[in-house]
Chains A and B, each alone.
Chain A
Amino acid sequence: MAKAVIDEKFCKGCGLCFTVCPKKLLKASEKTNAKGYYCAEQTEEEKCTACSLCAIMCPDAAITVYK
């Protein structure tokens, strides 16, 4: 079990994490956060390997990775 949790308070929906996830598990959410950004969200949690590439790439330090 592993997962990446995106903090909506910090996420700006830049999508850099989408581009680095080796399993392409991250996508833009359908609802916006308080600032109006379409935040990243994780799909298919069971496929996450906790590689943390998304969190390393995130310029806003919005991602916490659990394993």
Chain B
Amino acid sequence: MDVVYKRSGALSDVSTTYCPGCSHGTAFKLIAEISEELDIVNKLVFATPIGCTTFSAPFHKFSTFMSAHGRAPANATGFKRCNPKRPVIVYQGDGDCAAIGTGESIHAAARGEAFTVVMANNQVYGMTGGQMAPTTLTGQKTTTTPNGRSVEVTGYPIRMAEQIAQLEAPRFVTRQSLHTPKNILQAKAAIKKALELQINEGAYSFVELLCACPTNWGIDPSGIKEYIEKNVIPYFPLGDLKG
């Protein structure tokens, strides 16, 4: 029998510590598969900030460095300028990218630094226990908004991809989702395109991924598809915003 689909060789032989149904594993899997397809497993640098992503180093075979909360685009700027031949992926969560590191995120994009930002948008601070994030949906219950996020008190959720897309320098800005096999394959194509633009043209790209955090959403993983389609995609529409 022939193998039709197998675990990527760029993933290490270690089980992730993420909760069952968490989309971070899916995103890492896609990046691993893409790195094998582009033959950059030994060259790719995976820049991680603070968040559930911080635990990622043992789960893949890429070189990696960790930054202070929100500062991964700044550290990646320094790294990439000193090592222009190394492809760099900055993998951030929504709290990291759109709240704590907004300045770094926006200005790295405005400068058009030659790396790819992948932002996992699961609408909560997952690692610290499900607090409200800048992307938390209006009315969504979190540990810090037990009655649901109120517009009067905390304002509206931030659409980060749109913020980045209105800047001049980014070449490719897109929002994809990881809730169905079709969307996962589209997300893979988007990340691959972003990496190819980085490698071939030194371009900055931003890929926002709608991820699931069933533990902090308080739902069973089997309900992820319905939850994302009903609640998340209406506010965070999918598709290419630029490029």
Contacts and interface: CB of A to CB of B under 8 A. Distances in A.
Interface residues of A, number: 32
Interface stretch (B41-49, B160-168, B217-225): B217-225
A64 interface: yes
- Interface size class on chain B is 20 to 34
A36 to B, nearest CB: 11
A37 B22 CA distance: 15
A64 B4 CA distance: 8
A10 B15 contact: yes
A18 B220 CA distance: 13
Given A12-B20, A60-B16, A66 B1 contact: yes
Given A16-B222, A56-B181, A63 B5 contact: yes
DSSP majority for the A interface? loop
Interface string A1-37: 1110001011011111011100000000000000101
B224 A16 contact: yes
27 contacts: A2-B4, A9-B15, A15-B220, A15-B221, A15-B222, A16-B222, A16-B224, A18-B222, A37-B20, A52-B5, A53-B181, A56-B5, A56-B184, A56-B185, A58-B26, A59-B23, A59-B25, A61-B25, A61-B29, A62-B7, A64-B3, A65-B3, A65-B4, A66-B2, A66-B4, A67-B2, A67-B4
Interface of B: 1-8, 11, 15-16, 18-26, 29, 32, 180-181, 184-185, 214, 220-222, 224-225
